Amino acid sequence: MTKKTALLLAFIALKFLLQYFLIIPGYDLHRDEYLHLDQGNHLAWGFMSVPPVTSWIAWLIGVLGNGEWTVRFFPALFGALTMLVVWRTVERLGGGLYACVLAGSCVLFSVLLRLNQLFQPNSIDVLCWTALYYILISFIQSRDHRWLYGFAAVFALGVLNKYNIAFAAVGLLPAILLTPQRNLLFNKHVCLALLLALLLIAPNLVWQCQHKFPVFHHMKLLAETQLVNVNRADFLKEQLLFFIGSLFVIAAGLYGLLTYKPFAPYRLFFFSMIITLAVFTYLRAKGYYAIGIYPVYIAFGAVYIGSKVNVAWLRGVFVLIPVALFIPLFNVAFPNKTPEQIAANPERYRKLGLLRWEDGKDHQLPQDFADMLGWRELAGKVDAAYALMPDKAATLVLCDNYGQAGAINYYSKTGVRAVTFNADYVDWFDLSKKYKHLIRVKSWHEREVEMKETGPLFATGFAADSVTNRYAREWGTTVFIFRDARIDINARIEKEIAEERW
């Protein structure tokens, strides 16, 4: 084994170790993870919220036991693969051992440590962006048309994982046209590669067509409820925080793309970054949508610094800078402190804007952390309510949102299969059963309305319990029990499903 290979393996091992070390017991999985895990039980070529790739991995997680350790393994794996691709990009650009180590340090001690803790499409998204850029570099360097088909395959995988990768193409196409590399577009293999990508994506496009393109409905809701609260200045500030320890390397990469002769064939990457960030900023995108842009520029910067800096101690300092600047983030960016500790010392979180949720207001904890609390408690209380039902087969467990439904389905020990009219669950109601009883999981701010509106529809009804973890985003969420319906529950469900599907 060569020294370079040994160092690469050491970086990968440290990556996996940190992914598990930076989260303390006491936190559950994240709200979004439960939805994605449940998608593995309903495999399809598309979902209202995301394309199908995440569901395939969720199915595999289920085969492997569905444990939290396994859930966290896969995003860590995709993060390790991202690091591997950056390492190979450095080698492809002519960088030596030092450049590889510098790039590895920058990628390891970055926002990816947080991103790769969560089972969401984002980890694969960043991996696909990075792989796309690597493949394009390889094609420019070799002019081997096989790389074009690899580009098409990775792009298709990225689309089937998360439509966000389309913005990589939005940045690359005009950037290619602005440089002499525009001649890359004029050959039959480009057309054939585009056809391959379209064929691979086609099943999802067919699914979207059959379901009246729910992606547009999802994007509309996202824009109206979340992106409207995104401040463009905050978006740009977040870009600086994501790879704060690597900013000098990224800056060196951009400078090198303009001035370093060996980088001349890759100058399109300079324009691509500017265009993509400009589009994201204009659209008020969430900050993390742009994370996939940066790893390749770390590779460029590491190679440039490796070629220009020969002083041993200075090289050492450059490798340690990402580690040193990571330490302050270690204290705020990860769920490695109890909610009580965070609430008692909120100022450092507030200064970085981490307490601001998607509603535009500051709260006790960062939203991601609050979304990792209270779920086991909720599932346990739903199980207790379920045990009180006279006819469990005729009992519907109906929730307000996908986090509640997914968490109950994940943690339930009594086989409860909760549903909601929110997100993909609208397609997962089992109407082959005739329902007579209802367990209703209702968010705290609508508890009083629930008894007034739903209570008269049943012979008996009462609030059984509620989530008591005051740090959880679901704090106060109440579990209601309603028995012996006076209406046709199934008919009511069918009507609401039809309304939800517009």
- Comparing CA positions, the residue from 86, 78, 69 lying closest to residue 116 is 78
pTM exceeds 0.85, yes or no = yes
The SS3 of residue 440 is strand
User: What pLDDT score was predicted for residue 215?
Assistant: 73
- Asked which of 231-235, 244-248, 291-295, 498-502 is least confident by mean pLDDT, the reply is 498-502
- Comparing CA positions, the residue from 251, 330, 321 lying closest to residue 106 is 321
User: Residue 447 pLDDT more than 70?
Assistant: no
- Asked which of 291-295, 393-397, 428-432, 445-449 is least confident by mean pLDDT, the reply is 445-449
Residue 461: phi, psi to the nearest 5? -165, 140
As to burial, measured by CB atoms within 10 angstroms (0-12 exposed, 13-18 middle, 19+ buried), residue 452 is exposed
As to burial, measured by CB atoms within 10 angstroms (0-12 exposed, 13-18 middle, 19+ buried), residue 87 is buried
- Per-domain boundaries in the chain: 3-330, 339-370, 375-500
- Between β-strands 437-442 and 458-466, what pairing exists: parallel, antiparallel or unpaired? unpaired
Average pLDDT over residues 388-413: 94
Computed over every residue of the chain, the mean pLDDT equals: 91
User: What pLDDT score was predicted for residue 227?
Assistant: 57
Written as six digits, the tokens of 24 are 């303390």
Written as six digits, the tokens of 409 are 């389905």
